Amino acid sequence: MTKPLTPDGWFIENHEDIYAQGFAVTKHLHHEKTPFQVLDIYDTAEHGRLMVLDGFVMLTDAHEFPYHEMLVHVPLLVHPEPKRVLVIGGGDGGCIRAMLRHPVVEKATMCEIDEAVTRASQTYFPYLTEWIDTDSRGEARFADGIAYIKENPGTFDVIVVDSTDPIGPAKGLFNRSFYNDVKQALKPGGIVAVQGESYWYFKDEVVEMLQELGSVFDHMQYYTTQVPCYPGTVWGLGIASMTDYDFTCPHDPKRAETIAETSSYYTPDIHRTAFVHPAFARKIIGGLLK
Amino acid sequence: MTKPLTPDGWFIENHEDIYAQGFAVTKHLHHEKTPFQVLDIYDTAEHGRLMVLDGFVMLTDAHEFPYHEMLVHVPLLVHPEPKRVLVIGGGDGGCIRAMLRHPVVEKATMCEIDEAVTRASQTYFPYLTEWIDTDSRGEARFADGIAYIKENPGTFDVIVVDSTDPIGPAKGLFNRSFYNDVKQALKPGGIVAVQGESYWYFKDEVVEMLQELGSVFDHMQYYTTQVPCYPGTVWGLGIASMTDYDFTCPHDPKRAETIAETSSYYTPDIHRTAFVHPAFARKIIGGLLK
């Protein structure tokens, strides 16, 4: 039970020599040094395929759905009519796939800085990326998301920031300068949702993200999903707007029910309860929400 | 980032060579082969002290509270007047500590088969066990819980089963024969709550537990808490009774508010939302609840 884990047969994610997760690996499928990061893909014993960037788990077949469904469906269902939507990052394709499940969406653009992530996803996670070939509403752009939103003011109903952690290439996606550009790129009534770390293991990052996001938007809440392949599982997502929405409630219950029918995680009840936090977490973030 | 983890400096919990967790260890404080199991206690880099039984994490300083609060406060707050309460297992003392926060409790008995667990907890987790010396309402018995409940029919308002996993010494605490004895040991209106595994990594165990519990009690629900030191974090708890309670709702909102004031996880809102499950989990367990 306490036998050593060696790199043979295990992918180990080590968080600052404090906490680690190990995934039993059956095959190392892909290793690539892209212009931005190091990309690895493994077959695992029980999580299906595993994508790793710079040594950190990005997604697994087993646990992609709770992340993508909650990051996408919540803002798209709170917005009354999300026709034009954008993902910054999200090169694995899972966010656009979730967006295209909404019939109201007319155009969904992914702006990913690292094309290698998407190409690898097309090979190893084809169900996440098949929309590139099959749905003309989906657009894959390979460019700097920060520049792209600057160039497109007043364009989007919903922007989803599906970034890696606030280190490495995604560092610029967690500050008020970027969030201000996001605000400018939204149409009136627009909503942004962002990958927001975990209040269990990354408390300081959560607080900093909410401080920055809340300094730009008039209304902001924090909600969670469950991603067991991330440390602490209970993963936070920020949602913000200049419009005073009830973020905890879908705009149109029928539209939400239809999305729930194709979902493995999302239900209207889960939508509502994802905004309820344990006492200790409320103490950390409660004063920042507005 | 993918450097090997060796046993030096890490406690590794390995789940059937499929998934592993590692906790950076600063000191191995205690190692003991008890008559029932192997007991280890470590100081860790960030989780405080860590108790391990037969190679599996039982508790950490950092994450004991969401487990104990939810396993105890939910049944005690649903019950209209839980004067006489019992914990089967729970030798670390955390459940009785939580029970004694309820002024309505007149006597709280812990029946733990392995006295060594409690003695070690008194040394290394003194805050969990101080009630043994300071609160005359608390009683620590070291005996076989199965025998103890057989000997005490119609005695308890609430019984909490705080067991290890359904292997090893706790195997007998997950079947209908035991649950039937629990039913007999409850007073009219009595409630039982049980450690109920995780729908992420132990789906079969969850289903089997609910099948067995539901074959004995007329009313049963499943709720969750968050325990990041357990694999999958989102940890299930079963609750059952012969009485048709609304388990999702405290009997007396004022009593619940008072408990929330001394809690780090429990709030009345968390109580209610803990019974809401993602779509995939509803598919697994929904048909068993009643």
> Which is more confidently placed, B5 or B111?
B111
> Which is more confidently placed, B223 or A2?
B223
> Which is more confidently placed, B38 or B168?
B38
A266 and A142 belong to one structural domain: yes
The CATH number given to whatever domain includes residue B33 is 2.30.140.10
Is the C-alpha dihedral spanning B61, A55, A117, A40 positive or negative?
Answer: negative
A25 and A97 belong to one structural domain: no
Q: Lowest-pLDDT range, A183-187, A222-226, B9-13?
A: B9-13
B56 and B68 belong to one structural domain: no
Can A162 be counted among the known catalytic residues? Answer: yes
Q: ipTM surpassing 0.90, yes or no? A: yes
Mean pLDDT, all residues of chain B: 94
A49 and A163 belong to one structural domain: no
In a domain, B178, yes or no: yes
Q: Which of B8, B101, B197, B276 to mutate against chain A (most A CBs within 10 Å)?
A: B276
The pLDDT > 70 percentage for chain A reads 96
In a domain, A4, yes or no: no
A25 and A44 belong to one structural domain: yes
B156 and B280 belong to one structural domain: yes
Tell whether A7 lies on the interface with B, counting CB pairs under 8 A.
yes
Quick: pLDDT tens for A67-83. 999 999 999 999 999 99
Mean pLDDT, all residues of chain A: 94
Q: Report whether B168 contacts B54 (CB < 8 A).
A: yes
In a domain, A5, yes or no: no
- Checking if the pLDDT of B139 tops 60, the result is yes
What pLDDT is stored for residue B172 in this prediction?
80
A18 and A88 belong to one structural domain: no
In a domain, A140, yes or no: yes
The residue out of A44, A60, A76 marking a domain boundary is A60
Phi, psi of A230 (to 5 degrees): -100, 145
A274 and A225 belong to one structural domain: yes
Partners of B45 on chain A (C-beta within 8 Å) are 17-18
What pLDDT is stored for residue A2 in this prediction?
41
- Checking if the pLDDT of B120 tops 70, the result is yes
Quick: pLDDT tens for A35-66. 999 999 999 988 999 999 999 999 999 999 99
Averaged pLDDT, B55-78:
97
How many helices, marked H, and strands, marked E, lie in chain B?
11, 12
What pLDDT is stored for residue B157 in this prediction?
98
- Checking if the pLDDT of B2 tops 70, the result is no
Q: Find, among A265, A248, A266, the residue nearest to A257 by Cα.
A: A266
Partners of B5 on chain A (C-beta within 8 Å) are 4-5, 12, 14, 20, 22
The residue out of B18, B36, B60 marking a domain boundary is B60
Please judge whether A22 and B22 are an interchain contact, meaning their C-beta atoms are less than 8 angstroms apart: yes
- Checking if the pLDDT of A1 tops 50, the result is no
Averaged pLDDT, A274-283:
98
- Checking if the pLDDT of A184 tops 70, the result is yes
Q: How many domains does one find in chain B?
A: 2
Alpha carbon distances (Å) from A248 to A207, A276, B277: 20, 9, 16
A119 and A253 belong to one structural domain: yes
Residue with token string 């690292």: A114
Residues across chain A: 290
- A241: part of which helix (H) or strand (E)? strand A234-241
- A57: part of which helix (H) or strand (E)? strand A56-60
In a domain, A95, yes or no: yes
The B residues from 180 to 239 touching A (CB cutoff 8 Å) are 200-201, 226, 228, 231-234
In a domain, A138, yes or no: yes
Work out the pLDDT band at A7, boundaries 50, 70, 90.
low
What pLDDT is stored for residue B1 in this prediction?
32
Quick: pLDDT tens for B163-215. 887 766 677 887 999 999 999 999 999 999 999 999 998 999 999 999 999 99
A83 and A198 belong to one structural domain: yes
Q: Which domain holds residue B46?
A: 10-60
Quick: pLDDT tens for B73-100. 999 999 999 999 999 999 999 999 999 9
The CATH number given to whatever domain includes residue A190 is 3.40.50.150
B123 and B29 belong to one structural domain: no
- Checking if the pLDDT of B7 tops 70, the result is no
Partners of B277 on chain A (C-beta within 8 Å) are 270
What pLDDT is stored for residue A164 in this prediction?
81
Type of residue found at A201? Y
In a domain, A3, yes or no: no
Quick: pLDDT tens for A83-122. 999 999 999 999 999 999 999 999 999 999 999 999 999 9
Tell whether B284 lies on the interface with A, counting CB pairs under 8 A.
no
Residues of B annotated as catalytic are 162
Please judge whether A5 and B18 are an interchain contact, meaning their C-beta atoms are less than 8 angstroms apart: no
- Per DSSP, the three-state class of B58 is strand
B83 and B135 belong to one structural domain: yes
- Per DSSP, the three-state class of B243 is coil
CB contact set of B264 (below 8 Å; sequence gap of 6+): A278, A279, A280, B65, B66, B69
Averaged pLDDT, A215-226:
98
In a domain, A79, yes or no: yes
- Look up the pTM and report it: 0.95
Type of residue found at B93? G
